[in-house]
Amino acid sequence: MVIKVGKNKATDTEAAKALEKPAEEAPAKIAEEKQEPAAAKPVEEPKEKQPAAPATEPTPQPTPQPVEKPVIPEPKMAETSENPEAETQEAVINFIDLDQNGKQLTSSGVLRGMPGESINDLYSSEIPLKVIKKAGYKVVFNNFDIPGVTQRFSNNKVMIQIFTIGLSKKDSTEGNN
C-alpha cells in the first residue's frame, strides 16, 4: 500500500490515522475524508496477498528457583581456657585404608581447642569405626583411641596434631606376598 505523505499537516494526520486502520479500509477512508477523488492518486493493490504471519506469544521462561546450599556444620570449638595468651590449636583424626597405600577413607575434619583441652571431649571415633567395620574393615592400628589416655591439644602453634587410624580388609594372617 502506498500513502502519499506531504507537507500538509491535515494530510499527514489523515495518513497516520489510515495506518491505524486495517489495510483494506485505509485507501477508502482516506478518499472519503478528502472528498477530492481527482486529487488523490490511485492506490496500487499488491498482486498477491501475503498471509499475515501468525502472532507468536513469547515462550514463558521458567522462574529460576533459589538453590539451597547444603549446611555444613562448623567444627566444634572447645571452651576457652583461662590463659588469654594461649592460641587456638588444631587436630585431625584420619582413617586410612592400608590396602590402598594409605588412601583416606574419612576424617574428623579440623578440630580446634585451646592448649591442654581434651580432644576426646570434642570427637569420638566410635561412629565412624562402626560404619567402616560394617564395610568389612579391621583396625590395624589406632593412635587416637589409646586405652586410658585422654588426647589433649598441644602447645605447638606451628604444627597441627594428626592422629591416624589404619584399617584393612585383608586378613592379618595372609602375610605380605
- Whether the pLDDT of residue 72 is over 60: the answer is no
Judge if 155 and 101 occupy the same domain: yes
Report whether pLDDT(169) > 90.
Answer: yes
Residue 80 pLDDT = 47
With a CB cutoff of 8 Å and minimum separation 6, the contacts of 49 are none
Contact between residue 29 and residue 19 where contact means Cβ atoms under 8 Å apart? no
Query: Is 176 a member of any domain?
Result: no
Q: Which of 48-57, 91-100, 120-129 has the lowest mean pLDDT?
A: 48-57
Range of the domain at 151: 89-168
Residue-wise pLDDT for 128-152, tens only, equals: 999 999 999 999 999 999 999 999 9
Q: Note the pTM of the prediction, 2 decimals.
A: 0.50
pLDDT digits (tens, 9 = 90+) for 108-134: 999 999 999 999 999 999 999 999 999
- Structural domain contains residue 162: yes
What is the C-alpha to C-alpha distance for residues 29 and 27, in angstroms, rounded to an integer? Answer: 5
Tally the domains of the chain. 2
When pLDDT is cut at 50, 70 and 90, the band that residue 62 belongs to is low
